[in-house]
Structure formats: structure tokens, C-alpha cells
Amino acid sequence: MKDITTLDHFQPLEQLTQILCDKTQNPNPLFFRVLVAYYFSKVASMMRVDVETHDRGTIPVNMYAVNLAVSGAGKNMSTSIVEEEVINKFQHVFLEQTFPLISEESIAKLAIKRAAKKSEDPDEELVRTKKEFIDLGPLAFSFDSATTAAVKQMRHKLLMAGAGSVNLELDEAGSNLSGNMDVFTAFLSLYDIGKIKEKLTKSTADNTRNEPINGRTPTNMMLFGTPSKLLNGSKTEDEFYSLLDTGFARRCFFGLSKTGASSEGLSAEQIYDLLTDTSARTFLEDLSDLLGNLAAPKNFGATIMINKAVSVLLIEYRMYCEERALAFADHEDIKKAEMNHRYYKTLKLAGVFAFIDSSPDITEEYLYNAICLAEESGLAFENILTRERDYVRLAKHIATLDSELTHADLVESLPFYTGTISTKKEMMSLAIAWGYKNNVVIKTVIADGIEFISGSTLEETNLDEMKVSFSTHVAENYENALVPFNELHKLTQAQGYHWVNHHLRSL
């Protein structure tokens, strides 16, 4: 296996990523790489692309992703570009031509099968089956929230149609996570091969239970959001880490952008040239045409093959991941799970790249392209997990404010500063203890029974610029100087000189 630090990204993905970076003035490419990879996966899964393996059978391609970025990073703009200028033709062709054609054929076959099972007239059964399909509502190309019942209803429509995929694209994950916990539980089961157990409901005259259909529905999920909202030290963060622990860590790709858009180092004319670059416009149009052609019925249900050599390479990568997983401590279960199963989501992504390139096989290049993004995703995942403890954030918050604070101020400003008085007291004690070792001084003063809290940050001493003031007279004519620490002995041992370890100001 090649050195993973030398791998390249999938070329169409990287070209589109660079355009998005230029358009949004955000130099952090990982957020956009994960975004583009998700939409490529969405395209492939809507067309029911499968990967035929020698050891695991047939695997549908799909992608789960958690893509976090600070406000102003260009999420809305980049998403609009991809949806309106890249996958727009695919969406049109798929919804207007491919889906109606495939679903009509699938419904006809389903009606014949049901009629034979019931020994009834096929034409009458076809009428009932079409009505059932229509009653399930229109196909949702994507949705931003749902209930478990609605997801299963959409799955039933897709199973009847034999086409399409379930696509959850949740914005502002920090604010909307709690309201969709049941849906996430369902998505845990849907990731691998697109199957989930049906819930038994009472069938009545007014609410007739649909006849179950055995089949697969590829499922995609993208969680957008700001790190501060999702990782806020409160209930939302606990729920997010609970999802990671129950299986989303191994299923998801991760993106993280801690910087927003910036035009630093560029002139207004240079920015204008980037925003109006004709070569970028040409690439977007060509890519849109390419995806539009992939939506044609002739490309539906493509099966991507993987030969023995590439399968062996994938096993080598899996073993490499397992070896790294052994280095994690016993309590780092989430990291172990993600590392041990990283190869599986890599395989699915490699199948997506092959489909986008109209290749019938997963080559070594496509697998290495997928590994490259998976490794970057792993670094982002590490950054998400290595969050600061609540008491550290408390100490830093106190140190950055000039004014005195009360406990009421902290409760209002910090969502994680909650609980009983003893809980807050313990957190404050930990913050003070952490501060002593990290150049943060926190002081508390009680006045009229109210505790006032203040803090400051001590500047780290520059050993190359030690402040001293010296003179040949004990009380006057002192001269200020900055000297290296290793030269101080010349002053302190000099005869006839007086000195102090700070600068003096003349009156």
C-alpha cells in the first residue's frame, strides 16, 4: 500500500472543491470536499449503484457525513452552487424521466407478483398498486427533518418504485438534533445495506397497513452545523456523542472548518477575477452535463466490480487501520470503532467515484482517492473528539473578560454552566486549578454576600527579551534594556552596577 500522506483526491471532487473555496473565499478545503463527496454519493445512490465484492456480496453505495463549520464559512453559498449549478440537470432528468420510467416497470412487476400470490386479476391488482403508490405522496429528493414513520413511508414508496434513495440533509444540527433522535436511530440500521425492520401497527378500516416489500433503499445523511452549537457542553453535545458511540462514528465522514471566509492577501480586483472566472463556469457546466447524462435510464442500477488486486489492497488498508486502532486506550471506544470500520465507508466512496467517472470497476486509483478523503476525515474526527473540558472553557471565558462576573452572568453566558450549587462550585474549583498551570489567574471576592469573579491571563515570558533596568547609582539614572536570559549573568556579576528585573519610568 502507498504512503497515505502522498495520496491525491478524486480529480472532479478536487476541482469542484477548489472552485467552492474560491467562490466563498474560504481556504479550508475539507468542508467542501466532504460536501461534494456527499452529493456525488447522493447521485450514485439515487441511481441504485451497487458494488459487487468477493467477500461481502453486493453493497449499495451511500454516505453519512457530519460537516461542521463556523458561521460565515460559506456553507449556504457552496450548497447553493452544488444544488443549482452541479446536480441540477441530474435532478431534472432523474425526476422527470428515470424515476417515472423505472417506477412504472417496478409497479407493474409488483402487481403481477401480488396478483399471482392472491390468485386475483392482474389488472385489478395493478390499479390497487398504483393507487397505493400515489397515496404515499410525491418523492422527496431530500428533506431536512422527519419522523421515523415518515421515513418508513418514504422507504415503502422507494421499494415500490425500485429506484431512488432516502436523503436527510439536516441544517443547524446543534439546534435540531434533539428533535430528530428517533430518526437517527432508524438511520443506524439503514446505513449498511438499506434495510430496517418494520414497526407493527394496528390495521383498521381507516388506516390499512401496507403490504410489506422486501428490498433495499440506499440512505444518505448530511448533518450541517456550527461547532459551537453542536459541541456546547450541554444536552446537545451529550446526545451527539451518544450517537457517535452507538454507531455513527464508524458510519460517518467528518468535516471541520474552524475558520470563516477571508479575503486577506487579495485585492478587490483579484477577488472579482476569482468570482467571475470563466474556466470555473465552464467546469461547472461540464460537470452538470456529466451528471445529467448519468441520470439517464441506461445507467440505472449499475454494478461496480472490484477485482482481487484492489480487494487485497482494501484488506491491507483495513489491517493498517486495525493496527492503529490498537494504540487507542481502552476507554477510547468511539475512536476504535471509527478506525476499525474506516475501510468500509472508504469502499462505498470508491464505488461512487467509479460511477461518476463511468468506470465499470473500482481501480486502485479510485480506492486511493477514497482513502485520501477518509484519512482527512479521520483527522477532523480527532479534532471533534478532543474538545475542551467544560472547566477549561469556563476558565478561558473568565480570563477573556475585563469586568467582574457573578454566577448569574456565567449561567446566562455559558450553556454548560448549569446544575446544583455544588456542581458549579466544583467546576469553578477545577477551572481555578487548571488556570494555575496554564497562566490563567482567577480570583473571587465576596461583597454583601455576592461572589464576584474576575480573571486574567499571564503573558508567557520571552527568554530572549528579559526586561531589566540598570544603573551605576543606587537610586537614579536607570537605563531600560531587553537582554537574553543566558546573558543576564554578565550584568548580575558586574562590579559597581545596580539592577532590577523590570523596566522603570522616569518621573
| Fold exhibited by the domain 393-457 | Arc Repressor Mutant, subunit A (1.10.10)
pLDDT score for 208? 63
What pTM was estimated for this model as a whole? 0.82
The residue ranking higher by pLDDT, 349 or 173, is: 349
Mean pLDDT across the stretch 360-372?
97
Q: What is the distance between the alpha carbons of residues 283 and 259, in angstroms, rounded to a whole number?
A: 27
DSSP string, 221-279: EEEEE-HHHHSSSSHHHHHHHHHIIIIIHHHEEEEEE------TT--HHHHHHHHT-HH
355: number of Cβ within 10 Å: 26
- Region 444-449: mean pLDDT is 87
Contact 44, 349 (CB under 8 A): no
Quote the pLDDT of residue 502. Answer: 85
Question: How far, in Å, CA of 408 to CA of 266, rounded?
Answer: 44
What SS3 state is found at 442? strand
Instruction: Please list the residues that pair with 405 across neighbouring strands.
Output: 453
Q: Is the dihedral of CA 406, 412, 413, 415 positive or negative?
A: positive
Query: Does residue 109 have a pLDDT over 90?
Result: yes
What does the mean pLDDT of the chain come to? 89
Q: Give the Cα separation of 275 and 23 in Å (integer).
A: 6
Cell numbers found for residue 456: 486574567
Q: Measure the CA–CA gap between 453 and 446, rounded to whole angstroms.
A: 9
Cell of 46: 439515487
Q: Mean per-residue pLDDT for 422-428? A: 88
Q: Which of 16, 20, 42 is nearest to 295 (CA)?
A: 42
d(CA 186, CA 56): 23
What pLDDT is stored for residue 264 in this prediction?
Answer: 64
CATH architecture for residues 4-199+210-385: 3-Layer(aba) Sandwich (3.40)
Going from N- to C-terminal start, the domains of the chain cover: 4-199+210-385, 393-457, 466-500
CA 117, CA 129: separation in Å to the nearest integer?
A: 14
178-229 pLDDT, tens per residue? 888 889 989 999 998 888 877 666 656 556 667 788 889 999 999 998 887 8
What amino acid is encoded at 418 in this protein? T
